[in-house]
Amino acid sequence: MKIDLQQIRDLLDIVSKTDITELTIEIGEEKVTIKKSGPLAQSVQLDLSAEKPAMILNPAPARSPELSFEPKPQAHEASSEGSAGLNGLVPVTSPMVGTFYRASTPTANPYVEVGDRISVGQTVCIIEAMKLMNDMPSEVAGKIVKVCVENGSTVEYGQQLFLVDPKG
């Protein structure tokens, strides 16, 4: 079962209307964590893959608003094996579901082009999720070999956005 964008919107709406500051949901191999700050900080954890879903409320310190998507260990290992056939190229993948933008505005130059050298931490694109614009930093240094996604298209969690030659 996949967690889709509408489900995440619904969860964000629910969290915004409550005193809950952190919500983690696991469905199969997918895990979504929604965090927000607030005076009455609580966290909720749900495991929807269990036969009888359980909800646990815990006090938690207030934090800055943040939405994160994490694979479970076995999902991460599988994606690492899948990238082995890329002839030494390293994929930059989407950490979330959203809309891919190559530039900060429609009239601005793209953050990176094929042939550009990038460094770790350099912004390579923006992913819009839930009306939030998320700068995507590169986790690898090297030369952009391929842009795998068209500007303005929807991307999935783990989808390849760029291919980078770390030796380039």
Per-domain boundaries in the chain: 5-71, 86-165
At 123-166, the pLDDT tens digits run 999 999 988 899 999 999 999 999 999 999 999 999 999 999 99
- What's the confidence (pLDDT) of residue 47? 52
Say how far apart CA 67 and CA 40 lie, in whole Å: 19
CB 33 within 8 A of CB 68: yes
3-state secondary structure of 96: coil
When computed from its CA atoms, the radius of gyration of the chain, rounded to whole angstroms, is 18
CA angle, 70 then 86 then 96, to 5°: 20
Report the candidate in 73, 75, 45 with the shortest Cα–Cα distance to residue 58.
Answer: 45
| CATH 3.30.420.40 is right for the domain spanning 86-165 | no
Q: Which residues are 56's β-sheet partners?
A: 45
Q: What is the value of pTM for the model shown?
A: 0.52
Say how far apart CA 115 and CA 10 lie, in whole Å: 40
At 38-97, the pLDDT tens digits run 444 444 455 555 555 444 444 444 444 455 555 544 434 434 444 455 788 999 999 999
Residue scoring higher pLDDT (30 or 43): 30
Residue scoring higher pLDDT (125 or 4): 125
